[in-house]
Amino acid sequence: MVGLRGVGKTVLLDQMRKDAEGSGIHTVRIEAPEGLSLPALLAPQIRLALLRLSRVSSAKNLANRGLRALAGFARALKVSYNDIQVGIDLEPEPGLADNGDLEGDLTSLLEQVGLAAQKGKTAVAIFIDELQYVEEIQFGALISALHRCAQSRLPITVVGAGLPHLRGLAGKAKSYAERLFDFPMIGALTDSEAEIAIVKPAESEGVHYARGAVTEIVRQTRGYPYFLQEWGKQSWDIASRSPISMADVKAASILAVAALDESFFRVRFDRLTPTEKTYLRAMAELGEGPHRSGDIAEMLDRRVTSLGPIRNNLIAKGMIWSPNHGDTAFTVPLFDEFMKRIMPGRDWEFS
């Protein structure tokens, strides 16, 4: 499993999946939204992987046994996780992944998938985006199951993408997780990388940027890949000729910010409670961050301990993270500026 920071993680995850498929590895792709259980996410995708493996003659018998394990898994866990919806192709095999204990049953199920892949001389990779939304007990069961498969040298693994606090969540779910998996942090692009990301696609179409225009885009976007795309698109649409000028970029910036406010930022804002919005507005008042929890509490004239539940909820929602003990930072750049735009003035202090 690989934990990735939120910046450009989904694009990277998809590219890794394509590379795996190009190497003949069987892959499944899952996004973990809030409120859906891990068994509900995994069951349909594992079924697809096993059906593919069943078409490999050498793996057919073990793949079919895996489908029987899946039938038992879904039936036994339906009581605890009633959101499981999966087509059952074969009858369960008594005693196989059907004890009703998530950790044990998931281990048995993934072992059967790994055995089928091993027999078919291939591998199975499960790609999970937004992994931070998987509940702690379920996350721990997944880590434990993968640990067992690794000990048995079975060719099955998980590549997970999540927000920066994913490492901490994994360690909390299972203390040995940080020793078992890699957690590379993927941050914003460097200035030179961001310039290439803007200039190269335009040059492939015979379009260039005027001196300083690219630097302005990099400055505005902080090197965040999604923002680079938005600024590049708006600059391209506004410019009437090559080279794209500084004036074009400044005009594009107004449209890019408006587009982000109505989509990228607003979607996150609308998930917040009034007290959570006030907490983030106080953070924004302090600047881009990261900020000490004590400074945020002082801004709100509250004790740090009284704000703990709000902070924890915001971390769980993926709005903020803790780069160091006692520090709090926004998970995406420019959100502080958005909070000031959407909650202007000082009325927020008394909400």
CATH number reported for the structural domain that contains residue 345 in this entry: 1.10.10.10
Q: What is the model's pLDDT at position 19?
A: 85
- pLDDT below 70 — which residues of the chain? 1-9, 11, 350-351
Q: Could you tell me if residue 34 is inside a domain?
A: yes
- The confidence score (pLDDT) of residue 342 equals 94
In whole angstroms, what is the distance from residue 321 CA to residue 5 CA?
11
Residue at a domain's end among 118, 146, 180: 180
Q: Based on the domain organization, do 107 and 42 belong to the same domain?
A: yes
Rg (CA), the chain: 24
Last residue of a domain, one of 252, 268, 284: 268
Write down the pLDDT at residue 8: 60
Q: How far apart are the first and last CA of the chain?
A: 42
Distance CA 110, CA 97 (A): 9
Q: State the pLDDT at residue 185.
A: 77
Residues 17 and 51 grouped into a single domain: yes
User: In terms of domains, do 135 and 96 share one?
Assistant: yes
**Whether the Cβ atoms of residue 141 and residue 102 lie closer than 8 Å to each other:** yes
Domain boundary pick from 268, 293, 325? 268
Look at residue 249 in the predicted model and tell me its pLDDT: 96
Residue 186 lies in a domain: no
Bridge partners, residue 26, by sequence: 124
Whether residues 173 and 87 share a domain: the answer is yes
Neighbours of 147 (CB within 10 A): 16
The reply to whether 145 and 200 lie within a common domain is no
pLDDT digits (tens, 9 = 90+) for 70-128: 999 999 998 888 888 888 778 899 999 999 999 999 999 999 999 999 999 999 999 99
pLDDT of residue 243: 94
Cis peptide before 243 (omega within 30 of 0): yes
Sheet holding 26-31, edge to edge: 26-31, 124-129, 156-160
Q: Note down the domain range covering 296.
A: 271-350
Tally of domains in the chain: 3
Surface-to-core class of residue 327, CB atoms within 10 Å of its CB (0-12 exposed, 13-18 middle, 19+ buried):
middle
Note whether 23 and 133 are same-domain residues.
yes
Could you tell me if residue 225 is inside a domain?
Answer: yes
**Is 174 part of a structural domain of the chain?**
yes
What per-residue confidence (pLDDT) applies to 7? Answer: 46
Amino acid at 278: T
User: How confident is the model over 206-219, as pLDDT tens digits?
Assistant: 999 998 999 999 99
Spatial neighbors of 257 by CB under 8 A, at least 6 apart, are: none
Is 96 in the same domain as 232?
Answer: no
How many Å apart are CA 157 and CA 154, to the nearest integer?
9
